[in-house]
Amino acid sequence: MVVTLFSFFSELKTTLGRETLAGVTTFVSMAYILFVNPSVLGESGMDKGAVFTATALASALGCLIMGIVARYPIAIAPGLGVNAFFAYSVVIGMHIPWQTALAGVFIALLYL
């Protein structure tokens, strides 16, 4: 297993240390979304703990898919711009319940 891992690193012209440093750097630069996203969506009435968990799981799943399936070194997480629009413009500004607005987001996804 270890031999396979190191041959994989040499195939990609990298090292375990370089990949570890890249992972830690990426995590630190993206960790803000775990705290900001629940605060923004919490303003719309959503449960902050549930939003934190969903953000963490979506980020982890997206990063794993990018790394394992796509083999592309890009980390992805929920974007803050759309979340702010959802919370402040749609839910608070238009007085639409967050459940209804979230259903609208889901229906829009079906039309992609």
pLDDT at 54: 93
- The structure tokens 């990949």 sit at 19
> What count of other Cβ atoms lies within 10 Å of the Cβ of residue 38?
22
Domain chopping of the chain, boundaries: 31-78
> Which three-class secondary structure state does DSSP give residue 72?
coil
Q: Given a cut of 60, is residue 3 above it in pLDDT?
A: no
Q: Which residues contact 76 (CB under 8 A, 6 or more apart)?
A: 59, 62, 63, 66
d(CA 39, CA 66): 27
C-alpha distances in Å from residue 60, one per residue of 10, 51, 52, 99, 100: 25, 14, 12, 24, 27
| Total number of residues shown for the chain | 112
**Per-residue pLDDT tens digits for 62-84:** 888 888 888 777 888 887 888 99
d(CA 82, CA 77): 12
Q: Given a cut of 80, is residue 49 above it in pLDDT?
A: yes
Tell me the pLDDT of the chain averaged across its residues: 87
Q: If you ran DSSP here, which 8-state letter would residue 75 be given? A: -
**Per-residue pLDDT tens digits for 24-33:** 888 888 888 8
